Amino acid sequence: MKSKSSKTSKSYKSFKSSKYEVLIPLLTILSDAIAIFAAFELSYYIRFFTDFQIIFPVTKGIPDIYGYNIFAVMVIPIWIIIFQTRKMYRLKRSVFVMDELFIITKCISIGILIAMSLIFIIKAEFPYSRLVFFLIWVNSIILITIGRYFLLKFEKNLYNKSIGVINVSVLGNNEMAEKIYNKFTVDKFAGFNVKGYFSLSDEIFASEKNCLKDKNHLGNYKLIPEKIKELELDKILISLPSADHETLYNLFKICEGINIEFMYAPDFIDTMTSRLRVEEVDGIPFMKLKSMPMNVWNRLSKRMFDLIVSLILLILLSPIMIIIALLVKITSKGPLFYKQERVGLDGQKFSMLKFRSMKVNSEVQGPQMTIRDDNRYTLIGRNLRRFSLDELPQFINVLIGNMSIVGPRPEREFFINTMKDSIQRYLERHRVKCGITGWAQVNGLRGTDTSLQTRIDYDIYYIENWSIAFDIKIILKTIKEVLFSKEAF
C-alpha cells in the first residue's frame, strides 16, 4: 500500500507540474493575442479620433474599423508563430522583462513587414493607413511588454509559493557551485527547488576545499540515477572544471535512458574556449583564439549612443546636480569635485570626475579601497555613495570621450599593479572604454565583499558579448540596482 501511495503522489505531482507547464505558455499566448488586437483598436482610435489629426490631417475620410478588426484576426496567428520561432512561449523565461523587450521589438517589426506585404499580395481595396500601421508597431511593443511583465510577476509569484517549481540538484563543490546553490535556494522565482548537491567523491565531500560542506550532501555523483527517481529530480545543475571531462562522460553513461536535463555552468576556462571561432583564410583553417572586441562600426555606434544618452541625461539631471553641488559645498570644506587618476582604454590615464563624498586628505596614507562603515565620508557622502549620485559628473567624462556609459569600471594604477598578476585576465578590461556602470555592477558585484575574480569574469563576458541592446539592458538594470541594491557603500 505504501508503494502504491508513493506512486499516486508522484503521478499527482507530475500532473500538477505539467498543468503549469501548459498554463503559463497558454496565458502568454492569450496575453499577446489580446495585446495585438488592442494595439489595432488603439492605433485606429489615435489616428482618427484624437488631436493626432491636427498633425496628420485625414484627407480621404475615416475608414470603418471593421476592416482593421478582420485584418487583426488574420495577423494574430502569424505574429504568434513568429514569437514561437524565437522560443517566446516557454516556462521560466527571462527574469528581467527588458530581456524580452528587444526580442519583442524584432518580432513585431518582422510581423508588421509581413502584414504590409500581405496587404500588397491580396491587393486589398480597403484603405489601410500606413500611419496606423506605424502606431500598431509602437502600441504592440508597449502592450505586449506590459502584458508579459505582469505574467512574469504572476509566474514568479507562483514559484515563490512553491507552485509549479521543479526539483534540481547541483553537481560540484567549487565556488560556482556554491553560488548556484545559494542563488536558487534564496531566489525561488527562478522556479527551482534545490534538493541538495552531489560531490565527485566522498573524499572531496569531506575536504576543506569543499565550498558546499554545510549544505545538503546527496552523495557522490554515481548515486545520481537512483536519486533522480527518489527525489523526483528534473535537472542537474553542473559546475565542474573543464578538466573533469571524464566525470561528465561517466555521468552521461550512467544516466542513459533516464529523463533528466543537464545544465552546465562553465568555469572560467570554458568561458574562454566558448569564444573560439574557426576562420578560413585562402583555404587554410585558423582557430581564432582572440579577436577585437568591436569593429569600427561598433565603436562608432557605441560612441554615438554614449554622446546622445549622456547629453540628454546631463540636461535632465542638471537640477539634481546643482542641488548636490550646493550640499557638498555647504556641508564640508574642500573642492566640489574629486578628480582621481584612473586607467582606461589601452592603459591610457585620465582624470575621472566625482562629486566629493569624502573628507579632504582622506588618503594621506596612500590609496585605500572604500570599505563598509568607512569613517572618511562627509556628512552627505555616504548617501551620495549609497545611490551612486557621486558618479553623475562622469557623464562629462563620457562627453569628453574618456569613458563610456557602460563598460568595466576604471581603476587606479596602484590597484591595477597590485591585482594584475593575481587576478586572471585582469588587463583584458582595458580593451574597451571603461564605464560609469557595468555588467558586474548590475549583478551586485561591487564593494570589498565580492570576489574580484568574479567581477573580472563578468567584465570579460560583457566585452565579448557587447551590443547596443546589451548596453540598454545594463542601463535599465542600473536604475533598479541604484534604487534597491544593498551592496553600495
Dihedral sign of CA atoms 110, 111, 117, 121 in order: positive
Instruction: Give dist(CA 208, CA 438) in Å, integer.
Output: 34
Output phi, psi for 368, to 5 deg.
-135, 140
Beta bridge partners of 288: 277
Domain ranges of the chain: 2-160, 166-265, 296-484
CB 340 within 8 A of CB 351: yes
Angle (CA) 332 335 339, round 5°? 125
**Dihedral, 385, 387, 390, 392 alpha carbons, nearest 10:** 160
Cell of 262: 543537464
CB 403 within 8 A of CB 434: yes
At residue 17, the pLDDT reads 54
Angle (CA) 227 229 232, round 5°? 95
CATH architecture of 166-265: 3-Layer(aba) Sandwich (3.40)
**Alpha helices per DSSP H over 87-174:** 97-122, 130-160
At residue 12, the pLDDT reads 39
For residue 458, the tally of other CB atoms under 10 A from its CB is 18
Cell of 122: 491580396
Beta bridge partners of 261: 235
Q: Give the DSSP per-residue string, 10-53.
A: HHHHHHHHHHHHHHHHHHHHHHHHHHHHHHHHHHHHHHHHSTHH
At residue 332, the pLDDT reads 84
At residue 447, the pLDDT reads 66
Instruction: Give dist(CA 106, CA 49) in Å, integer.
Output: 29
At residue 10, the pLDDT reads 44
- For residue 278, the surrounding DSSP H or E stretch is strand 277-281
At residue 4, the pLDDT reads 43
Q: What is the pLDDT along the chain (489 residues), one digit of tens a residue?
A: 444 444 444 443 444 455 767 788 899 999 999 999 999 999 999 988 888 877 787 777 788 888 889 989 999 999 999 998 888 887 665 556 777 888 899 999 999 999 888 877 776 666 778 889 999 999 999 999 999 989 988 888 888 888 888 899 999 888 888 888 988 888 887 888 999 999 888 776 666 677 888 899 999 899 999 999 899 898 999 888 766 778 888 888 888 878 888 888 766 545 544 555 555 554 455 555 456 677 778 888 899 999 999 999 999 999 999 999 999 888 888 888 888 899 998 889 999 999 988 877 666 565 666 655 666 778 788 888 878 888 899 999 999 999 999 999 998 888 888 888 888 878 888 888 999 999 988 887 776 667 788 888 888 889 888 888 889 889 988 888 777 655 544
Q: What is the pTM for the complete model shown?
A: 0.65
CB 328 within 8 A of CB 355: yes
